[in-house]
């Protein structure tokens, strides 16, 4: 069996820097819980990387969304507008507060929230717009900013899939009023499990820190004036994250190179729509994703089964959240639904080699030709 014939995963973490050195430092020093220098360093450096002032690290991305909503005082009776085509955590994190996620359409250009449909969904109960930078391509933040400002709404970013992506040359994460990231094992950089809130708003950062620390002030550790949470990141997670952040440019470059290679090999294949790349954005290709159109031959799911037989892992796109049982609104969002049906994520991690990309493309092309 040659290297390229082994099972190729969709994503795999690349841990080639100071991860073990920093983790060992946690263990040798005894600072394995959520106190310790790596947490504060990671918060500051990651926020700085995004162009933001404050970072509040959490134990995963989902709780970062809940913590952000709780920090803003979002709750029952409030509405937050978001794209339906996203990972379920975007909706769940808002729903945990009792607020209502309001789902809107995706645009064909970027596969992200369609600003025109946001405007139509605003009601007197709307508190915020939550943009999601799906699969690594930024949402149209300029258009969303104009709408948010015109209606006096907060603009939030779920940037869990887009560390380092840019809009008009500025990194995501500090383009909205606050953002969240995930550091799950398959994300652009990882802490195992992990998340963070990034914001320029000092009062929000302090409030988030208070709420994730069981509602305590440093001056009086057992006086808890409110029901709050333990959502803290551990020093071990942050140690891994700091080492990952040192290598983020390297890891982004690998993804860009692999995506360019995929694009070049797949451009002429009939019935495949390649990933978005708006002129004003850089896509970090968290996932290298294509749409399987009817002209390709086999359906998306038939293609996935054949790739699997050739040792190539893939993922279907998310189900648009408005079609999941607990959120089923009976809405019709044809663009999001079509993307959800046709989209496939091909192997995309930073461990992927050019030979593997060639093997995946050869396999895709032969599946098309055999049909
Ligand atoms: C990964 C992800 C999250 C958060 O996920 P966790 O697994 O809880 O860290 C949130 N939103 C989106 C869009 C994601 O892809």
Task: Please give the Cα distance from 359 to 8 (Å, whole number).
Answer: 10
Task: Choose which residue among 95, 106, 157, 182 to substitute to test ligand 1 binding: the one with the highest number of ligand atoms within 8 A of its C-beta.
Answer: 182
What pLDDT is stored for residue 229 in this prediction? 98
Any atom of ligand 1 within 6 Å of the Cβ of 60: yes
Residue keyed to tokens 């970013």: 157
pLDDT of residue 1: 41
Write the residue with the smallest CA distance to atom 2 of ligand 1: 160
- Nearest ligand 1 atom to the CA of 182 is 9
**What integer pLDDT is reported at residue 2 of this predicted model?**
52
3-state secondary structure of 196: strand
Q: How far is the CA of 296 from the centre of ligand 1 (A)?
A: 31
Starting at the edge strand that comes first in sequence, how are the strands of the sheet with 195-199 ordered? Answer: 54-58, 195-199, 178-182, 154-158, 126-132, 79-83, 100-104
**CATH fold of 19-246, please?**
3.40.640
Q: Which residue has a Cα nearest atom 9 of ligand 1?
A: 61
**Nearest-angstrom CA–CA distance, 311 and 87:** 26
- Comparing C-alpha atoms, which of 6, 1, 12, 4 is closest to residue 347? 12
Q: How far is the CA of 295 from the centre of ligand 1 (A)?
A: 33
- Point out which residues pair with 290 in neighbouring strands: 344
In angstroms, the CA 38 to CA 54 distance is 15
Q: Which residues contact 116 (CB under 8 A, 6 or more apart)?
A: 107
Q: Using CA atoms, how far apart are residues 191 and 304, in angstroms rounded to an integer?
A: 29
Instruction: List CB contacts of 274: < 8 A, sequence separation 6 or more.
Output: 262, 263, 266, 267, 290
Distance CA 341, CA 361 (A): 21
- pTM, to two decimals: 0.97
CA 359 to ligand 1 centroid distance, Å: 29
Domain ranges of the chain: 3-9+248-370, 19-246
Quickly name the fold that domain 3-9+248-370 has: 3.90.1150
Pocket flag, ligand 1, residue 158 (CB < 6 Å): yes
d(CA 224, CA 216): 5
135 lines ligand 1 (CB under 6 A): no
Q: Tens place of pLDDT for every residue, the chain, 371 residues? A: 455 457 999 999 999 999 999 999 999 999 999 999 999 999 999 999 999 999 999 999 999 999 999 999 999 999 999 999 999 999 999 999 999 999 999 999 999 999 999 999 999 999 999 999 999 999 999 999 999 999 999 999 999 999 999 999 999 999 999 999 999 999 999 999 999 999 999 999 999 999 999 999 888 889 999 999 999 999 999 999 999 999 999 999 999 999 999 999 999 999 999 999 999 999 999 999 999 999 999 999 999 999 999 999 999 999 999 999 999 989 999 999 999 999 999 999 999 999 999 999 999 999 999 98
**What is residue 218's predicted lDDT score, i.e. its pLDDT?**
80
Token pair recorded at residue 185: 């094992």
Atom of ligand 1 nearest to the CA of 187: 1
Determine the distance separating the centroid of ligand 1 and the alpha carbon of 3, expressed in angstroms.
Answer: 31
Separation CA 256–CA 275 (nearest Å): 12
Nearest Cα to 370, choosing from 304, 306, 294? 306
pLDDT of residue 204: 98
231 lines ligand 1 (CB under 6 A): no
Ligand 1 contacts CB of residue 347 (under 6 A): no
């Amino acid at each position: 069996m040659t290297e390229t014939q082994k099972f190729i995963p969709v994503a795999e973490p690349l841990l080639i820097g100071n991860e073990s050195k920093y983790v060992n430092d946690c263990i040798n020093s005894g600072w394995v819980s959520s106190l310790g220098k790596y947490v504060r360093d990671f918060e500051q450096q990651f926020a700085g990387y995004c162009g933001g002032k404050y970072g509040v690290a959490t134990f995963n991305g989902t709780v970062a969304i809940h913590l952000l909503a709780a920090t803003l005082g979002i709750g029952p009776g409030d509405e937050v507008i978001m794209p339906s085509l996203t990972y379920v955590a975007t909706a769940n994190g808002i729903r945990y507060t009792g607020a209502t996620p309001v789902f809107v359409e995706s645009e064909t250009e970027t596969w992200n929230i369609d600003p025109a449909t946001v405007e139509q969904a605003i009601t007197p109960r709307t508190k915020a717009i939550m943009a999601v930078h799906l699969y690594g391509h930024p949402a149209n933040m300029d258009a969303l900013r104009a709408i948010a400002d015109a209606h006096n709404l907060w603009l939030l970013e779920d940037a869990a899939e887009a560390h380092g992506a840019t809009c008009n040359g500025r990194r995501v994460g500090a383009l909205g009023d606050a953002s969240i990231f995930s550091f799950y094992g398959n994300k652009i950089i990882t802490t195992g499990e992990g998340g963070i809130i990034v914001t320029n708003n000092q009062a929000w950062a302090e409030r988030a820190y208070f709420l994730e620390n069981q509602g305590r002030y440093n001056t009086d550790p057992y006086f808890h004036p409110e029901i709050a949470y333990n959502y803290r990141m551990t020093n071990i997670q942050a140690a891994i994250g700091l080492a990952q952040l040192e290598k983020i440019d390297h890891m982004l470059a690998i993804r860009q190179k692999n995506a360019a290679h995929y694009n070049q090999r797949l451009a002429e294949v009939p019935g495949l729509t390649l990933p978005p790349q708006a002129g004003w954005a850089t896509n970090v290709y968290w996932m290298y994703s294509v749409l399987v159109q009817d002209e390709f031959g086999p359906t998306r799911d038939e293609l996935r089964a054949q790739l699997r037989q050739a040792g190539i892992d893939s993922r279907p796109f998310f189900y648009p959240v408005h079609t999941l049982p607990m959120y089923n609104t009976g809405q019709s969002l044809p663009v999001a639904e079509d993307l959800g049906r046709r989209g496939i994520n091909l192997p995309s991690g930073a461990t992927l080699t050019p030979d593997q990309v060639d093997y995946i493309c050869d396999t895709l092309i032969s599946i098309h030709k055999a049909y």
